[in-house]
């Protein structure tokens, strides 16, 4: 029987130790301040300081409702839609777009 390279044998875990254990003591201590932290965020949410208010609103909403999903649409060179049927196809498509893009065509990051 040939050995499969890069794959785990049937019944063998890829992560036998499991997820790393978090420090329960630190977590429990931090959670004691949850109510106070939310109250403080609510205070800043109502502030006249727009920057503080927006930040507090975002923090409250993300904790209460989770972070919103961001839709991504890939388009080809002439604006045609690029569709991928699986992750490997999507990766190939992204690499193709990146390889064919000119540096000046890429959006700048500030």
9, part of any domain: no
Global model pTM greater than 0.85:
no
What digits encode the pLDDT tens for the residues 45-62?
A: 999 999 999 999 999 999
Number of structural domains the chain divides into: 2
Query: By residue range, what is the domain housing residue 48?
Result: 24-65
Residue 77: pLDDT above 60? yes
18, part of any domain: no
Mean pLDDT for 95-105 is 68
Residue 4: pLDDT above 60? no
Question: 27: pLDDT confidence band, cut at 50, 70 and 90?
Answer: confident
Same domain, residue pair 30 and 60: yes
> Tokens 């991504």 correspond to what residue?
72
110, part of any domain: yes
The pLDDT of residue 5 is 62
2, part of any domain: no
Same domain, residue pair 83 and 59: no
Q: What is the DSSP string of 16-83?
A: TT-SPPP-HHHHHHHHTTHHHHHHHHHHHHT-S-HHHHHHHHHHHHHHHH-PPP-----B-TTS-B--
Residues near 41 by beta carbon (within 8 Å), at least 6 away in sequence: 56, 59, 60
Same domain, residue pair 75 and 109: yes
């Amino acid at each position: 029987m040939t050995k499969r390279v890069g794959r785990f044998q049937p019944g063998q875990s890829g992560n036998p130790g499991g997820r790393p254990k978090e420090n329960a003591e630190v977590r429990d201590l931090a959670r004691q301040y949850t109510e106070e932290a939310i109250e403080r965020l609510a205070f800043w949410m109502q502030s006249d300081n727009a920057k503080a208010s927006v930040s507090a609103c975002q923090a409250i909403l993300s904790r209460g409702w989770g972070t919103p999903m961001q839709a991504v649409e890939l388009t080809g060179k002439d604006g045609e839609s690029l569709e991928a049927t699986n992750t490997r196809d999507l990766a190939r498509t992204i690499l193709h777009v990146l390889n064919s893009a000119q540096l000046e065509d890429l959006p700048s990051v500030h």
